[in-house]
Amino acid sequence: DTEVTQTPKHLVMGMTNKKSLKCEQHMGHRAMYWYKQKAKKPPELMFVYSYEKLSINESVPSRFSPECPNSSLLNLHLHALQPEDSALYLCASSQEGRAAQETQYFGPGTRLLVL
Amino acid sequence: GQNIDQPTEMTATEGAIVQINCTYQTSGFNGLFWYQQHAGEAPTFLSYNVLDGLEEKGRFSSFLSRSKGYSYLLLKELQMKDSASYLCAVRDRTGGFKTIFGAGTRLFVKA
């Protein structure tokens, strides 16, 4: 099973809403990632969890709050977002996050629209 | 810092061969990936190079020259379904093994 699943597929939220994006993998990977991708732009790294601990935070605003409840799950909690936060949010996982040849497997993404 | 350059768009004909180039600058090079991304979908892994030379995988090959900071992805026997964005991504060990993506090359395959 080389699948990373993400829910929901689409999300529309107002600037005062609180919502969460969910990501799950069952490949035994110990590193999980959140990326943000705007149209026609490359994925931009937001957060990296390695062995359920936050190892990289790319200076992401606090209105985005990641959570890794266990090695298979990764959440991204959203609060008081801005319209410019509208994007495709991609989750990825890899074996450990430290080795050289670490292919990242991406989920299908959540397309977020902030009104 | 890191910098990855690849052409914005390319057009090729079905059945032909196309080469997508990527140049990079990074302080802690630790491998280079190529991903394919169809519009509105997630990136999917194509290839990985960490040593100089050519890696072949079916219709796709990827080449790396570390001394030149250069890679290319070669697609043979192009098919219409190969129309997609191709992302060059470099793994950098500084700051914790990040993978930095280039802006991608949008390939259009025409009949």
pLDDT digits (tens, 9 = 90+) for B22-48: 999 988 888 999 999 998 888 999 999
Please tell me chain A's helix, strand, coil percentages from 3-state DSSP, rounded to the nearest 5: 5, 55, 40
Owner of token pair 């080795």: A99
Owner of token pair 């796709």: B60
Evaluate whether A26 touches A1 at the Cβ level (below 8 Å).
Answer: yes
Owner of token pair 């992302």: B87
* SS3 at position A25: strand
Instruction: Indicate yes or no: CB of B101 within 8 angstroms of CB of A42.
Output: yes
State whether residue A108 sits within 8 Å of chain B by CB.
yes
Q: Which residue of A has its CA nearest to B37?
A: A42
Name the residue type at position A12. V
- Which residues between 23 and 62 in chain A have a beta carbon less than 8 angstroms from any beta carbon of chain B? 40-45, 48, 55-56
pLDDT tens digits for range A37-75: 998 888 999 999 999 999 888 889 999 999 999 999 999
Which of B45, B57, B99 is best to mutate for the A interface (most A CBs within 10 A)? Answer: B99
